Amino acid sequence: MARFVDRVVLHLTAGDGGNGCASIHREKFKPLGGPDGGNGGHGGDIVLEVSSQVHTLLDLHYRPHIKAQRGANGAGDHRNGARGEDLVLEVPAGTVVLNDKGETLADLTSVGMRFIAAQGGFGGLGNAALASSARKAPGFALKGEPGEQHDIILELKSMADVGLVGFPSAGKSSLISVLSAAKPKIGDYPFTTLVPNLGVVEVGHETFTIADVPGLIPGASEGKGLGLDFLRHIERTAVLAHVVDTATLEPGRDPASDIEALEAELAAYQSALDEDTSLGDLRDRPRIIVLNKVDIPEAQELAEFVKEDLEAQFGWPVFIISAVARKGLDPLKYKLLEIVQEARKSRPKEKVENRLIVRPKAVDAKGKGHDFEIHPDPQIEGGFIVTGEKPERWIIQTDFENDEAVGYLADRLNRMGVEDALHKAGARAGCTVSIGPVSFEWEPMTAAGVDPTLTGRGTDIRLSRTERVSAAERKRASQVRRGLIDELDFGEGQTADRERWQG
């Protein structure tokens, strides 16, 4: 028997963006070729798409850790890196996407609907795209951004027109088996059905779908029995059918009390998607009452005796049937079809342009002073923390091994107004400023905007006057530690070991 899975937790990691390339065009008789480093490719997205070929979340249950492809790095000669391939996950219709806080992100109800569950990181710009009047040949490029990484919850809510509710062993599975081609498990003991069953009912040239909920009992909305796990499968149904066992011998059980008990559970069960389904609250759905098992003489007498009382008490149509003997099924099918067709006409038509669901995010919002905030650092005395999407993205994109890239970052932060905001917040020279994962000593005397073309590629005149160790010095210290060069030999007599890469 195939396993039914209607709730999974996915750990998503979208593809990282590729790094940009820092390259200078080199060609014979063209000494000033200019920068030609290409941009890195964007990382692949993780997309959920509704498919008619998928009916459960079983495949995702066995594969919860999902990672999309990384974007390729840029290359010289203006060659951009390839975009990472999007990873499309097929899900059944009726899948609801929740975040780890339980908030609804998307409701996928129609075949073809797509939702970007995790967005890939943007690729870094190459030095060709970073060239300007101040930096005619940048000696650096931007790194790619990491892709989104978070957990989501998928819940499957059956897309059935008719939902069958009733006590255990009321005959719901038997009714589905005779109305449709579905073959659910049938037994003479409670909780025979452990998963919702779905069937297609044909009435002439029309069809509708019907589903049951594993036996509800009083207290199901509080977690008793199996009802709490599967009540979500009747949230989308257009009509609810109470299947009542008229042949039960349990003390204190009768058709009216059974219906009242189940109605109390339905009223207690609240859904976060009532407005999204456009069907209203469960208490407002049309209902019918199905008195089952009248193939037993005593049950037949009881059903005929209470039919008028039930109609007067609840105001719903009452049908007397026997699923085993296939008695009274045609009137029931035609009435269900009538209610379903009325419900379909009253639903708003789905717009085609709404099939693609995305989460719009303003990345380059204009407005100085609105892109970041400055707060005192609670862990470092006299320190400050700069928060904001753009500054944190810029930190990730910066290669801190390259002085020119660090200078470019300083210019970007200055144009945004971070320098002035820190000064107004009371920052002093040498205080610790943290942006994202990076902390540094603030140097307000560093003049942002100084023409950096006066120095070589990969260097910045504003940083050369500081005590910060340069990239060349770090490289030499690494070679000394590995024994590749003599620490005290800086002359022409220095020899390099060609057996190991020198960088």
Binding residues for Mg(2+): 173, 193
DSSP bridge partners of 386: 374, 435
DSSP bridge partners of 30: 27
* Residue 120 three-state SS: coil
DSSP bridge partners of 242: 165, 289
DSSP bridge partners of 118: 46
DSSP 299: H
Closest CA to 220 of 181, 252, 262, 182: 262
Q: Could you identify the residue written with the tokens 């995790």?
A: 118
CA angle 104, 107, 109 (to 5 degrees): 165
> 474-480 long-range CB contacts below 8 Å, 24 or more apart?
474/401, 475/503
Q: Give me the half-sphere count of Cα atoms (radius 13 Å) on the Cβ side of residue 370.
A: 7
Sheet holding 438-441, edge to edge: 373-376, 384-387, 432-435, 438-441
DSSP result, 226-272: THHHHGGGGTT-SEEEEEEETT---TT--HHHHHHHHHHHHHH---T
Instruction: Name the binding residues.
Output: 166-173, 191-195, 212-215, 292-295, 322-324
DSSP bridge partners of 164: 212, 241
Distance CA 73, CA 41 (A): 6
Classify residue 333 as left (phi > 0), alpha (psi -120 to 50) or beta: alpha
Burial of 483 (0-12, 13-18, 19+ CB in 10 A): exposed
DSSP 74: P
Q: Could you identify the residue written with the tokens 């320190």?
A: 383
Sign of CA pseudo-dihedral 422, 427, 430, 434: negative
The token pair that represents 206 in the structure block: 């029309």
Instruction: Name the binding residues for GTP.
Output: 166-173, 191-195, 212-215, 292-295, 322-324
Q: Could you identify the residue written with the tokens 């000696």?
A: 139
CA angle 369, 374, 375 (to 5 degrees): 155
The token pair that represents 326 in the structure block: 């296939």
What are the angstrom distances between the C-alpha of 464 and each of 21, 430, 471? Answer: 24, 17, 11
